[in-house]
Amino acid sequence: MKNAYAENSCSTFDIQFGDKSFKYYLYNDFENITERLSDLEDIDSFVILSDKNIGGIYGQDIVKRIRKNYRCELIIFECTEKTKNLTVLQEMIEKVISLKATRRTCIIGLGGGICGNMAGMVAALLFRGIKFIHIPTSLMAISDSVLSLKQAINSDYGKNLIGVFHTPEMVITSTEFLKTLPKKEIISGLCETIKNVLTILPENIERLSDILNADCSYTGGNYRYFIEMSVKAKTQVMKNDAYEKKGALILEYGHTIGHAIELAGGGIVTHGEAVGLGMLCAAEISHMLGHLPDKDIKIHRTLLEKAGAPTAIDGKINADTILSILKYDNKRGYTAVEEGTVQMVLLDRVGKTFNHSILTAVPMELVMQAINRMYMK
């Protein structure tokens, strides 16, 4: 990872995942946010995909900037976990085609992680693959979801079960986007930051703990710290594991149970909040197996509480529904599946897994115990 600070207040990161690479531009403002598009080769037009909220705030402004040099269209769509499916994906592809897209069209995903995934899927499938760019606007997307080659949508059976690997041409974003971000979305993004610290960068625990506050009162410098730390963590484990099948599976910490909680909740909790709850469940399971010590469980809980994240599962979320979704977790098959178990990332202590293959087969009974302990009293 290379980081250079330019005079126009833009940090540039060279992201390298295996033999795949792309530029990541982090601006302080919007003044020059579309200037890097001219670096692209063999592009004659752009189609922006965005959700109603973000598209309404920033869409036309970005379209206007791009139209100074290229043909550009904006597609607004309902962007939720429920609409992140094959039906809506096909609708998006048909709309892009109707706008006279060609192999020289570049897709832009303007919005949060769901929007980025949909844009990535459209680009990967249209004409068997065209170029695309992320312009993430949420802390979750800026610091986590765009730092991957994975593009995916949901199935009726579970989250992110249908997808491809497709490399973005670049990521362009600004800390300005975060000034209008709702508190709940800030907390969601911070849960992934906490995950990165607990699993990969434990030396940052103390500093992160000092910055976190339940009011979500953060400076631009604080946000840059969160983002740059997440970039460092993800590039560290993915530089030799671009497809996240080996060491980079550590990034799935908290996601096995977290994904199930998120889907079972139907919108009650955000992705990041669900991952936070999933991490607490994983910590409890590891402790029951005789590994993660009490003090490290406390670190999990303290960081999440300081960030303002929930530390108990809402009683409206059915435990049986969580368990049924777990059976279709998208990590099945990385290692041999044992009947009656769930594959999970577990920690021996913060910063270290206790299984060299990263994944551990956990008996479903133990998972049930951990989930039941997590409900509000």
Q: Are 168 and 145 in contact (CB under 8 A)?
A: no
Query: Sign (positive/negative) of CA torsion 140, 120, 23, 252?
Result: positive
Domain boundary pick from 126, 159, 180? 180
Give the tokens for residue 26: 């982090």
Are 113 and 255 contained in the same domain?
no
Give exposure, 128-142, as e/b (b: 16+ Cβ within 10 Å). Answer: eebbbbbbbbbbbbb
Q: How many whole angstroms separate alpha carbon 216 and alpha carbon 104?
A: 42
Looking at the structure, do residues 137 and 213 belong to the same domain, yes or no?
A: no
Where does a domain end: 134, 154, 180? 180
- Boundaries of domain holding 211: 183-373
Please give the single-letter amino acid code of residue 261. I
Question: Which run of H or E residues covers position 341?
Answer: strand 341-345
Q: What is the pLDDT of residue 332?
A: 67
One domain, residues 187 and 216: yes
Q: Which H helix or E strand runs over 238?
A: helix 220-238
Residue whose structure tokens are 């206007």: 64
* Whether 191 and 95 share a structural domain: no
User: Which pairing describes strands 20-27 and 170-174: parallel, antiparallel, or unpaired?
Assistant: parallel
From first to last of the 377 residues of the chain, give the pLDDT tens digit: 544 434 448 999 999 999 999 999 999 999 999 999 999 999 999 999 999 999 999 999 999 999 999 999 999 999 999 999 999 999 999 999 999 999 999 999 999 999 999 999 999 999 999 999 999 999 999 999 999 999 999 999 989 999 999 999 999 999 999 988 999 999 999 999 999 999 999 999 999 999 999 999 999 999 999 999 999 999 999 999 999 999 999 999 999 999 999 999 999 999 999 999 999 999 999 999 999 999 999 999 999 999 999 999 999 999 999 999 998 887 766 666 678 899 999 999 999 998 777 999 999 999 999 999 999 75
Task: Given the residues 73, 244, 252, 273, select the one marked as catalytic.
Answer: 252
Domain of 253: which CATH number? Answer: 1.20.1090.10
Q: Is 252 a catalytic residue?
A: yes
On whether both 174 and 240 belong to a single domain, the answer is no
Q: Which of 95, 150, 184, 239 is catalytic?
A: 150
Torsion of CA 268, 274, 276, 278, to 10 degrees: 130
**What is the token pair recorded at 16?**
């390298």
Residue type, 113: G
Q: Under 8 Å CB-to-CB from 102, ≥6 apart: which residues?
A: 44, 45, 127
CATH of the domain at 135: 3.40.50.1970
Other Cβ atoms less than 10 A from the Cβ of 2: the count is 10
Per-residue confidence (pLDDT) for residue 9, from 0 to 100: 84
- Annotated catalytic residue 327: no
